[in-house]
Structure 1
Amino acid sequence: MPTSPLTLHPDRALPADPAVREIARRIYTQIADLPLISMHGHVEAQAFAENTPFADPAQLLIVPDHYVTRMLASQGISYDALGIPRTDGAPVEADSRAIWRTFCENWKLYRGTPSRYWIEHELVEVFDVHEVPSAESADRIYDQIDAVVSSPDFRPQQLLDRFGIEIISTTDPATSDLAHHARIAEQGLGERVVPTFRPDAVYQIGGPSWAQEVVALGEVSGIDTGDYTGFLEALRERRRAFVAAGARASDHGHLRADTTPMDAADASALYARVLAGHAPSAEEAFAFEAHMLFTTAEMSCEDGLVMQLHPGVLRDHHSGVLQSYGKDKGYDIPVPVDYARGVQPMLDRFGRDPRFRCILFTIDETVYSRELAPIAGTYPSVRLGAPWWFLDSPDGMRRFRELATETAGFYNTSGFVDDTRAFASIPARHDLSRRIDAGYLANLVAEHRLQEDEATEVAIDLSSTLPRAAYPPIAH
Structure 2
Amino acid sequence: MKPFMGPDFLLENETARSLYHDSASKQPIFDYHCHLIPQQIAENKKFANLTEIWLGGDHYKWRAMRSVGIEERYITGDAEPFEKYMAWAKAMPQLLGNPLYHWSHLELQRYFGIHDPLNEQSTKSIWDKANEMLQSDDLAVSSIFKNFKVAAVGTTDDPADDLAVHEKINSGNAPIGKIDTVVMPSFRPDKAFLAQHATFAEYIEKLGKAAGIAIDSVANVKTALGKRLEFFVSQGCKASDHGIPMVPYTEAKESEVEAIFQKALTGKSLTAHELDAYQTSIMLYLGKEYARHGVVMQLHMNSIRNLNPPQFSKLGPDTGFDASHDLPMAEKLGRMLGALESEHALPKTVLYTLNPKDYYVLGSVMGAFQGDGIPGKIQLGSGWWFCDHKDGMEDQMKILGNLGSLPRFIGMLTDSRSFLSYPRHEYFRRILCNILGKWAEAGEIPADPVLLDTIVRDISFHNAQRYFA
TM-score normalised by the chain length of structure 2: 0.92
1:383 and 2:376 correspond:
no
Paired residues for 1:188-337 under 5 Å: 188-189=178-179, 192-337=182-327
Q: In structure 2, how many angstroms separate the alpha carbons of the residues matched to 1:288 and 1:156?
A: 41
For residue 43 of structure 1, what is the aligned residue in structure 2? 36
Change over 3 Å in CA distance of 1:282–1:350 after alignment to 2:
closer
Checking the alignment, whether the CA contact within 8 Å between 1:97 and 1:139 is kept in structure 2 is no
8 Å contact kept, 1:197–1:250: yes
Query: Residue 365 of structure 1 aligns with which residue?
Result: 356
Q: Where does residue 460 of structure 1 map in the other structure?
A: 457
Structure 1 residue matching 2:41: 3-state secondary structure: helix
Is residue 414–residue 470 contact of structure 1 (8 Å, CA) maintained in 2? Answer: yes
Matched with 1:393 is 389
Amino acid at match of 1:390: F
Alignment of 1:52-451 (within 5 A): 52-82=45-75, 84=76, 92-187=77-172, 188-189=178-179, 192-351=182-341, 353=344, 356-369=347-360, 371-380=361-370, 381-426=377-422, 428-451=423-446
* Whole-angstrom CA distance in 1 between matches of 2:268 and 2:25: 55
Q: Distance in 2 between matches of 1:261 and 1:60?
A: 46
Label 1:354 to 1:210 Cα distance change in 2 as closer, same or farther (>3 A): closer
The 3 A distance-change label for structure 1 pair 444 and 242 is same
What is the deviation of 1:368? 1.3
Aligned CA distance change for structure 1 residues 456 and 377 (closer, same or farther; 3 Å):
farther
SS of the residue aligned with 1:240?
A: helix
Q: Distance in 2 between matches of 1:259 and 1:13?
A: 42
Amino acid aligned to 2:355: D
- Does structure 1 conserve the Cα–Cα contact (< 8 Å) formed by 2:19 and 2:456? yes
CA gap 1:433/1:51 in 2 versus in 1, 3 angstroms: same
Taking only the aligned residue pairs, the percentage that are identical comes to 25
How many residue pairs get matched?
453
Q: Deviations over 1:256-277 (max 9, x none)?
A: 1233443222222211121123
Q: What's the counterpart of residue 373 of structure 2?
A: none
State the one-letter code of the partner of 1:433: F
- 1:55 to 1:225, Cα distance in 2 relative to 1, 3 A: farther
Cα deviation digits, residues 100-145 of structure 1 (max 9, x gap): 1111122112211111111101111211223322223222211111
Structure 1 pair 33–412 and aligned structure 2 pair: CA distance change class (3 A): closer
- Determine the C-alpha separation between the residues in 1 that align with 2:96 and 2:130: 22
Cα 1:349–1:190, aligned 2, differ >3 Å: closer, same or farther?
Answer: farther
Measured in 1, the distance between the counterparts of 2:421 and 2:181 equals 22
In 1, Cα distance between equivalents of 2:67 and 2:274: 35
Does the aligned pair in 2 maintain the 1:337–1:364 contact within 8 Å?
no
TM-score, structure 1 normalization: 0.90
Query: What is the CA-CA distance between 1:326 and the residue it aligns to?
Result: 0.9
Question: Is the 8 Å Cα contact of residues 257 and 337 (structure 1) preserved in structure 2?
Answer: no
Post-superposition Cα deviations, 1:375-432, rounded to whole Å, max 9, x if no partner, equal 2333124111111111111111111122221111214533212211121122x10001
Q: Which AA in structure 1 matches 2:73?
A: D
Q: How far does the alpha carbon of each residue in 1:146-190 deviate from its partner, in whole angstroms, 9 at most, with x for none?
A: 111111221112211011101011101122111111111221459
What is the CA deviation profile of residues 310-366 of structure 1, one whole-angstrom value per residue up to 9, with x for unaligned ones?
Answer: 110001111111110111011111012433212122221334737621111112212
Summarize the Cα distance change of 1:199–1:181 in structure 2 as closer, same or farther, 3 Å threshold. same
SS at match of 2:453: helix
Instruction: Tell me the amino acid that sits aligned with residue 334 of structure 2.
Output: Q
Counterpart of 1:378 in structure 2: which amino acid?
A
Tell me how large the CA RMSD over aligned residues is.
2.0
1:428-448: CA deviation from partner (whole Å, max 9, x where unpaired): 100011111111111221232
Please tell me the residue identity of whatever aligns with 2:438.
N
Which runs of 5 or more structure 1 residues have no equivalent in the other structure? 1-5, 16-20, 85-91
SS in 2 for 1:361: strand
d(CA) in 2 for partners of 1:191 and 1:235?
Answer: 28
Show the counterpart of 1:88. none
